[in-house]
A and B are shown apart, each in its own frame.
Chain A
Amino acid sequence: MNIIWAIAKKEFIQVSRDRRTLMMLFLMPIMQLMIYGYGINTDVKHLPTYVYDQDRSYLSRRLVDSFTQSEYFTVKVQATSLPQVYSALDRGYAQSALVIPPDFTANLLKKKTAQVQLLIDGTDSTPATVALNSSQAIVNAFMQNEGFIPIQVSPIDFRPRLWYNPDLKSTYFMLPGLIGLVLQFLIPMITATAIVREKERGNIEQLLVTPIKPYELILGKIIPYIVIGIIISCSIIAIMHFLFVVPIQGSIITLFFLTLIFLIVCLGIGLWASTVADNQSQASQIVMFMAMPSILLSGFIFPLEAMPSWVRDISYLIPMTYFLKIVRGIILKGLGFFDLIDQVWPLLLMAVLVIVLSIRRFSKRMA
């Protein structure tokens, strides 16, 4: 026990003197938080819109107003001709265009079908879909507000409601996942380089002739990085909650313990990488290589539901897939431990597997 503690203490001193690692530990989470919190925003709002209102009546202006008030559309230009509208869409000045024909009011008052055309730039499917859906809602609302009952009356009273993230804020979705991303990237990186460093600098030669046992060396080296991982996770959660006001619905304690399991998986990956690599740069390459699929296939950015089934099968081999469901489940949905059991046991299994395998590999390489 004393030996493990001595190693851990030594490791802390070394990390505290390693400016490059410190910078990475500090800057990477901050940078990611800023990028995903402020920079990347998949919420579609204020779509630049051209309006070609040929009717120029009270009602047509009301219709345009309801579009602008929705905040999904922002009127950039009142167009004066159709060619102007088309060229704006072609050149990307506008992403949507609202064309109101001259007989709009007349038709409405005659209870005939009034036509309104909304042109949407479908190049990027995400904003296009959002624009399309919201335009439907806007038009329906307009009809009700103005006293024109919608033409189709369905026997089913269908009222969809969004749960957990009613405003569809992308920060709510991204920031909890960021805990996983940062841990998945940083922890294996620093663990692997710290262990390989002993090999690269020849320190291991001296350690081998001391009575240190392989498991003591591993535990001693891992403890500091567990502590660092916990500090990083807590900081991200704190910044997420207080700066970006993402509400935490579930139990912080459950979140803490399940994060710890994921942390152990990450440490195991780093440990394994260290047994494969001969030097620090190889180790970081391996870790980068392993982190890529975790970012792309875990559902961090792209939804799993949209992937072909064979890709989804691969994603079930990625620890982050489970961890993302856990953090998002706890933070956004307020799920408890037993609601998440389907995610917890694969993660636990992976933790045990990767740790046992890499410790065995490590001990063999040491002897």
Chain B
Amino acid sequence: MLNIAISADRLTKRFGKFTAVDGISFEIPYGSIFGFLGANGAGKSTTIRMLCGILEPTSGTGKVGGFDVQTQPEQIKSVIGYVSQRFSLYSDLNVIENLTFYGQVYGLEGSALSDRIKEVLTLTGLDRFRQKLSGELSGGWKQKLAIANAILHKPKIIFLDEPTAGLDPLSRRSIWELLYQLAESGTSLFVTTHYMEEAERCNTIAFISDGKILKIGHPAELRQQLNNQILEVACQPLMKASRLFLTLEGVRGVTVYGTTLNLNVTDEKAVEERVKAVAAKEGVTISSIKPIAASLEDVFSDLDSENQGNPESESKKQ
């Protein structure tokens, strides 16, 4: 238990009649990256706000760094770091001034403060922007400043709310390198993201939808569960085929990938036969058809179809 950084036990938040977070439970050990996935409005931010001690849960308990979210929110605030999705440092202060201000807020002062600022500047590579107004930094550097800021007081737990949203691939990669470094040093990271390849980098991921955790586990483990269930079909015309195949027995969902379709199926062999048959009848030419390993996106759309799905995705209603 000592190794647990963040835990939630049937954590619930209701706003009036609306249940934003519905009895979620999980445990995150120190030194690991926890990926929190879900659509907008699924309950990710509400969960983070409860765990950070700024929103009181309606029921259930949560512990962060050994402190209770209900009764010790102030203690929690001093042991966590927080990186928000929207840049929320002062854009009219320069890099050093921002860091100095937040360092003082966390009780650092004098040479301890200036030494620590030097450390985080080196770690994040922000050294050359010391005197630059933070509003003038590019998106990626702003986010790095936000991370530098969040780790000033050496928190063992950091919450990052979509830290890479809207960034270019290079910035995203360097931010993830930074996150790995932090995790390696024993820090626990709670990250929300929309990017599947980022979810792949996490030690544990949880899918949340309508306030409930649908699935939780190691990314590889989750993909494993869908083994022998994904059929990749290269065919023409694509959208017509997609509609056709969705009506077949044993097809739970169809996802379009460029020039191929990924069919989420219950029985590979049987479905393969049916797909070939219907394609021949309806004039769809199949250039290849083969079983493939599931990606996280498949896992996600599979969950989506299980969960009645949203109207935009091509999922079969059950």
Task: List residues of A whose CB falls within 8 A of some B CB.
Answer: 2-3, 5-7, 9-10, 13-14, 17-18, 201-212, 367
> Interface readout for B88-111 with A: 1 if CB under 8 Å, 0 if not?
111111000100111011110100
Pull 7 A–B residue pairs with CB atoms less than 8 Å apart, ordered by A.
Answer: A3-B105, A6-B104, A201-B91, A209-B77, A209-B80, A210-B77, A210-B106
In the complex, chain A residues whose CB is within 8 Å of the CB of B100: 6
| CB-nearest residue of chain A to B102 | A210
Contact B78 A202 (CB under 8 A): no
B243 touches A (CB below 8 Å): no
User: Which residues of chain B (96-154) have a CB below 8 Å from chain A?
Assistant: 97, 100-102, 104-107, 109, 149
Given A208-B54, A209-B52, A209-B54, A201-B101 contact (CB < 8 Å): no
A342 to chain B, nearest CB (A): 44
Contact B90 A14 (CB under 8 A): yes
Kindly state the separation between the CA atoms of A367 and B86 in the bound complex, as whole angstroms: 20
B36-55 at interface with A (beta carbon < 8 Å): 52-54
User: Are A10 and B88 interface neighbours, CB within 8 A?
Assistant: no
Which residue of A2, A7, A201, A212 is within 8 Å of B88 (Cβ)?
A: A201
Tell me the complex Cα distance, A18–B91, Å: 12
Contact assessment for A6 and B87 in the assembled complex, using a CB-CB cutoff below 8 Å: no
- Answer whether A2 and B107 are a contact pair too, CB < 8 Å, given A211-B74, A211-B77: yes
Residues in B with CB closer than 8 Å to A212 are 105
A211, B89: Cα distance in complex, Å? 16
Known: A2-B109, A13-B97, A211-B77. A205 touches B92 (CB 8 A): no
Q: List 5 additional A-B contacts (Cβ < 8 Å) besides A7-B101, A201-B88, A209-B82.
A: A2-B104, A7-B105, A9-B101, A14-B90, A203-B88
What 0/1 pattern do residues 62 to 92 of B give for CB contact below 8 A with A?
A: 0000000000001001101010101111111
Contacts of A205 in B (CB 8 A): 84, 86, 88
A206 touches B82 (CB 8 A): yes
Closest to B100 in A: A6
In chain B, positions 202-222 with a C-beta closer than 8 Å to chain A are: none
B274-302 interface bits toward A, Cβ cutoff 8 Å, 1 = contact, 0 = none: 00000000000000000000000000000
Residue picked from A6, A7, A9, A14, most chain B C-beta under 10 Å: A6
A10 and B97 CA atoms in complex are apart in Å by 8
Are A10's CB and B89's CB within 8 A?
no
| CB-based nearest A residue for B149 | A206
Instruction: Tell me how far the C-beta of B48 lies from the nearest C-beta in chain A, rounded to whole angstroms.
Output: 9
Q: Please state if B106 and A206 are interface contacts (CB–CB under 8 Å).
A: no
Q: Which residues from B are CB-within-8-Å of A14?
A: 90, 92-93
CB distance from A81 to the nearest CB of B (A): 72
Q: How far, in whole Å, are A5 and B104 apart by their CA atoms in the complex?
A: 9
Q: Does A17 lie within 8 Å of B92, measured CB to CB?
A: yes
- The distance from the CB of A90 to the nearest CB of chain B, in whole angstroms, is 61
| Complex Cα gap A18–B48 (Å) | 34
Complex: A205 Cα to B88 Cα, angstroms: 7
- With known contacts A2-B109, A14-B92, A209-B77, A202–B104 Cβ distance under 8 A: no
Q: Which A residues lie within 8 Å of B54 (CB)?
A: 208-209, 367
B105 touching A202, Cβ below 8 Å: no
Please name the residue on chain A nearest to B161 by beta carbon. Answer: A205
A6-B105 contact, Cβ under 8 Å, with A210-B77, A211-B78 = yes
Q: Which residues of chain B have C-beta atoms less than 8 A from A17's C-beta?
A: 92
User: What residues of chain A lie closer than 8 Å to B89, measured between beta carbons?
Assistant: 203, 206
Nearest Cβ on chain A to B209's Cβ, whole angstroms: 24
Complex Cα distance A90/B227, Å?
A: 102
Q: Are A10 and B90 in contact (CB under 8 A)?
A: yes
Checking B86, B107, B159 against A202 with a beta-carbon cut-off of 8 angstroms, the contacting residue is B86
Q: For the complex of A and B, list the 9 residue pairs with the smallest distance between their C-beta atoms, beginning with the closest.
A: A6-B104, A209-B82, A206-B88, A202-B88, A205-B88, A211-B78, A10-B101, A211-B77, A202-B86
Q: Most chain-A CB neighbours within 10 Å: which of B84, B88, B91, B149?
A: B88
Nearest chain A residue, comparing its CB with the CB of B79: A211
- From A6, A9, A203, A367, contact of B90 by CB (8 A): A203
Complex: how many Å from CA A7 to CA B109?
14
**Interface-central residue, A3, A17, A203, A210, by most chain B CB under 10 Å:** A210
The interface residues of chain A lying within 8 Å CB-to-CB of B107 are 2, 211
Q: Which residues of A contact B101 (CB under 8 A)?
A: 6-7, 9-10
Shortest distance in angstroms between A3's beta carbon and chain B's nearest beta carbon?
Answer: 6
Residues of A within 8 A of B77 (CB): 209-211
Q: Distance (Å) between the CB of B167 and the closest chain A CB?
A: 17
Contact between B92 and A206, CB atoms less than 8 A apart: no
The CA-CA distance from A201 to B87 in the complex, in Å, is 8
Shortest CB-to-CB span from B146 to chain A, Å, is 8
- Chain B residues in 8 Å Cβ range of A207: 105
Determine how close the nearest CB of chain B comes to the CB of A278; give it in whole angstroms: 16
In angstroms, Cα B101 to Cα A13, docked, is 11
A230 to B130 CA separation, bound complex (whole angstroms): 34
Docked complex Cα distance between A207 and B88 (Å): 9
Question: Which A residues are in CB contact (< 8 Å) with B97?
Answer: 10, 13
Q: How many angstroms between the C-alpha atoms of A209 and B53 in the bound complex? A: 7
Contact A210 B105 (CB under 8 A): yes
Chain A nearest CB from B102 CB (Å) reads: 7
B101, B104, B105 — most chain A CB neighbours (10 Å): B105
Contacts of B53 on A, CB cut-off 8 Å?
Answer: 209
Cβ-defined contact, B92 with A18, below 8 A: yes
A13 touches B52 (CB 8 A): no
- CB-CB under 8 A from B109, the residues of chain A are 2
Q: Are A211 and B82 within 8 A (Cβ)?
A: no
Q: Which residues of B contact A367 (CB under 8 A)?
A: 54
A204 and B93 CA atoms in complex are apart in Å by 15
Closest to A213 in B: B74
Contacts of A202 in B (CB 8 A): 84, 86-88
- Give Cα A367 to B100, complex, Å: 25
Measured CB to CB, the closest approach of chain A to B128, in angstroms, equals 21
- The chain A residue with its CB closest to the CB of B97 is A13
Min distance, Cβ A32 to any Cβ of chain B, angstroms:
28
Contacts A6-B101, A209-B80, A210-B106: A13 and B86 contacting too (C-beta < 8 A)?
no
B53, B78, B90, B97: most-surrounded residue (chain A CB, <10 A): B90
Q: Which residues of A contact B159 (CB under 8 A)?
A: 209
